């Protein structure tokens, strides 16, 4: 392949049916550029943006990834820049007409012998970190808990060197909400399941106020609230509150400090996949490489979660045939229908998804974005579907329904039980999670070079032929094992970068 670092013009065409391609050269290419095939640009086309490979008549389909991403609103001459304003959104796939489990991929050969050094929990789950998590039942207690956590880190944590961190699980739920509304189940189970994340070692601890609607008992699976809850209204003054939190925390730190890393099969991994700040390269470099790594993880017996409903909806017709059976296919449709109705209630639709950065990076609309996004899922059968905040209990490739928002998606994947996350980006973001390592994969060389101390793996090498999708896929897979074992740290871990928990609450606030 051509080297993007020299002056040779290069476009990338994904599928033989495509009538557009993206410009690969850094900085784009000027009007008059002639490609070896004879194609001549009629205007400047920025990097990552689309050029018409042939004349496209008004109303004719614009095709990328072998799929229709829209229809030309006017005649588009060959060699033109095909910007977003020239493409009209197509009708989304009709959910009730989708094929179910009609092309279930055959099982790939098992990938045996791969292990990592993790923290084995009594319930059989495995942590990649050893963290004390302290859950709040209501936002009112956050200030007190932050004060206590600061003292815990300064006064107690140094005594327990095997514990990686102490994390306050803050959220804005708990009171002033319609706690009995049907959709309230989503934030409540999300909080409850985050507290049970495998990286917390089963040492549940809740700080509540006492008068909130979300009573701490609803976050305690075994009902033993006396030994797991500090209720601030039970104490005479601020200092006794803080002291009670510290005493309960120290009892858990003592237990967590006894945890040791042991050799675990790769099947103990629960890896979340996400993208943010996507661009036109995401669907041809970073996401396919992550998809290849996802297939390796599934072959090794691990659990892999992909998400982001609005970035699946317009490509769902390519996913329902991969459902392992019709029941799973119907569950996938159910989550699409629920989200369609949710958007409709808010007088929004799928066209609200692409960000200004996505568009600047060459993505014309949500259809093009979706087609590039779903390739993170690789080629394995979809074995299960989770509603928002549900915990994964099966192995294999799972669709975990979430909004596309980075922070909300990350929060819900933590609730589903991920102990690692792989995050692809084209435009760049310092996103991170305090509760699980996040591996950043860049779609472009330019981003990896701009942020060498934030990007963990550069998939941009695929575009200029320095590496193949398989090469980078294996690199991601091995890096996952190293980070899960504590042998390597992600850049976000090294800098201590993380975003706040952001609950998905579609229920009313009173």
Per-residue model confidence as pLDDT tens digits over 356-395: 999 999 999 999 999 999 999 999 999 999 999 999 999 9
For residue 51, pLDDT beyond 60: yes
- What is the band of 6 on the pLDDT scale with cuts at 50, 70, 90? low
Shared-domain flag, residues 249 and 177 = yes
Q: Of 107, 383, 407, which Cα lies nearest the Cα of 276?
A: 407
Q: Of 15, 83, 10, 21, which Cα lies nearest the Cα of 53?
A: 21
Per-residue pLDDT, 2: 42
Residue at which a domain ends, from 52, 76, 91:
91
Per-residue model confidence as pLDDT tens digits over 138-180: 999 999 999 999 999 999 999 999 999 999 999 999 999 999 9
Shared-domain flag, residues 385 and 439 = yes
Cβ neighbours for 321, distance < 8 A, ≥ 6 positions apart: 99, 100, 101, 102, 103, 104, 329
Shared-domain flag, residues 251 and 277 = no
Shared-domain flag, residues 237 and 357 = no
Say what the pTM is.
Answer: 0.96
Residue 200 lies in a domain: yes
Residue 339 in contact with residue 400, Cβ under 8 Å? no
Q: What CATH number corresponds to the domain at position 200? A: 3.40.50
Q: What CATH number corresponds to the domain at position 74? A: 2.30.130.110
Cα distance between residue 106 and residue 249, in whole Å: 48
Per-residue pLDDT, 225: 79
The residue to which tokens 């091995």 are assigned: 478
Residue 23 lies in a domain: yes
Shared-domain flag, residues 391 and 338 = yes
Largest CA distance in the chain: 82
Shared-domain flag, residues 19 and 133 = no
Strand 126-127 relative to strand 115-120, pairing: antiparallel
**Cβ burial, residue 87 (10 Å; 0-12/13-18/19+):** buried
Residue at which a domain ends, from 57, 74, 91:
91
Residue 245 lies in a domain: yes
Tokens linked to 286: 């970073």
Per-residue pLDDT, 4: 46
Per-residue model confidence as pLDDT tens digits over 470-507: 999 999 999 999 999 999 999 999 999 999 999 999 99
For residue 1, pLDDT beyond 70: no
For residue 254, pLDDT beyond 60: yes
Residue 263 lies in a domain: no
Shared-domain flag, residues 149 and 202 = yes
Tokens linked to 282: 């995401």
Shared-domain flag, residues 374 and 307 = yes
Residue 361 lies in a domain: yes
For residue 305, pLDDT beyond 80: yes
Shared-domain flag, residues 70 and 165 = no
Cα distance between residue 324 and residue 306, in whole Å: 16
Question: What does each C-alpha distance from 463 to 192, 285, 323, 444 come to in angstroms?
Answer: 42, 7, 30, 8
Q: State in Å, rounded, how far the first CA of the chain is from the last one.
A: 59
Residue 333 in contact with residue 98, Cβ under 8 Å? yes
Q: Of 301, 312, 503, which Cα lies nearest the Cα of 415?
A: 503
Shared-domain flag, residues 130 and 20 = no
Percent of all residues in the chain with a pLDDT value above 90, rounded to a whole number: 96
Mean pLDDT estimate for the chain: 96
Number of C-beta neighbours around residue 321 at 10 A? 17
Q: What is the mean pLDDT of residues 434-460?
A: 97
Number of domains in the chain: 3
Cβ neighbours for 120, distance < 8 A, ≥ 6 positions apart: 126, 262, 264, 268
Residue at which a domain ends, from 39, 56, 91:
91
Residue 369 lies in a domain: yes
Per-residue model confidence as pLDDT tens digits over 78-124: 999 999 999 999 999 999 999 999 999 998 999 999 999 999 999 99
Shared-domain flag, residues 277 and 246 = no
Q: What is the mean pLDDT of residues 435-451?
A: 97
Per-residue model confidence as pLDDT tens digits over 188-229: 999 999 999 999 999 999 999 999 999 999 999 877 778 899
DSSP code of residue 156: I
Residue 507 lies in a domain: no
Domain that residue 163 falls in: 116-257
Number of helices followed by number of strands (H, E) in the chain: 11, 21
- What is the band of 354 on the pLDDT scale with cuts at 50, 70, 90? confident
What are φ and ψ of residue 77, in 5° steps? -70, 150
Strand partners, 441: 424, 457
Shared-domain flag, residues 232 and 159 = yes
């Amino acid at each position: 392949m051509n080297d993007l670092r020299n002056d040779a013009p290069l476009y990338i065409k994904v599928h033989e049916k495509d009538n557009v391609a993206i410009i690969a050269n850094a900085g784009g290419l000027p009007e008059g550029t002639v490609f070896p095939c004879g194609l001549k640009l009629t205007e400047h086309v920025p990097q990552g943006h689309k050029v018409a490979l042939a004349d496209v008549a008004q109303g004719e389909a614009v095709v990328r990834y072998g799929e229709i991403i829209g229809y030309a609103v006017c005649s588009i001459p060959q060699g033109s820049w095909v910007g977003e304003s020239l493409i009209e959104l197509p009708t989304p796939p009709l959910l009730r007409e989708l094929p179910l489990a009609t092309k279930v991929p055959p099982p790939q050969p098992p990938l045996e012998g791969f292990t990592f050094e993790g923290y084995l929990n009594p319930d059989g789950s495995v942590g990649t970190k050893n963290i004390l998590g302290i859950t709040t039942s209501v936002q009112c207690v956050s200030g007190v808990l932050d004060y206590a956590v600061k003292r815990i880190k300064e006064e107690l944590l140094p005594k327990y060197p095997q514990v990686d961190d102490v994390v306050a699980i803050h959220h804005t739920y708990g009171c002033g909400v319609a706690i009995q509304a049907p959709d309230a189940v989503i934030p409540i189970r999300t909080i409850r399941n985050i507290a049970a994340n495998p990286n917390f070692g089963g040492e549940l601890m809740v700080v509540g106020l006492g008068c909130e609607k979300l009573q701490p008992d609803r976050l305690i699976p075994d009902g033993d609230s006396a030994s797991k809850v500090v209720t601030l209204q039970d104490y005479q003054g601020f200092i006794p509150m803080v002291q009670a939190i510290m005493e309960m925390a120290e009892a858990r730190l003592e237990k967590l400090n006894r945890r040791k890393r042991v050799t675990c099969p790769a099947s103990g991994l629960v890896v979340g996949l996400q993208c943010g700040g996507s661009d036109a390269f995401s669907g041809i470099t970073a996401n396919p490489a992550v998809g290849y790594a996802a297939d390796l993880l599934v072959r090794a017996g691990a659990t892999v979660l992909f998400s982001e409903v609005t970035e699946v909806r317009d490509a769902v017709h390519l996913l329902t045939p991969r459902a392992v059976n019709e029941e799973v296919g119907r569950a996938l449709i159910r989550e699409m229908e629920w989200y369609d109705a949710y958007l409709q209630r808010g007088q929004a639709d799928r066209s609200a998804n692409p960000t200004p950065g996505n568009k600047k990076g060459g993505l014309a609309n949500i259809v093009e974005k979706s087609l590039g996004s779903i390739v993170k899922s690789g080629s394995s059968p979809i074995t299960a579907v989770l509603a928002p905040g549900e915990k994964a209990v099966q192995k294999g490739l799972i669709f975990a329904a979430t909004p596309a928002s980075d922070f909300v998606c990350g929060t819900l994947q933590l609730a589903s039980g991920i102990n690692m996350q792989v995050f692809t980006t084209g435009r760049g973001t310092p996103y991170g999670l305090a509760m699980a390592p996040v591996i950043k994969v860049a779609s472009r060389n330019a981003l990896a070079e701009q942020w060498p101390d934030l990007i963990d793996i550069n998939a941009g090498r695929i575009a200029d032929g320095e590496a193949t999708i398989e090469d980078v896929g294996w690199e991601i897979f091995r890096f996952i094992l190293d980070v899960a074992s504590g042998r390597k740290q992600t850049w976000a871990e090294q800098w201590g970068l993380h975003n706040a928990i952001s609950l998905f609450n579609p229920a009313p606030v009173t």
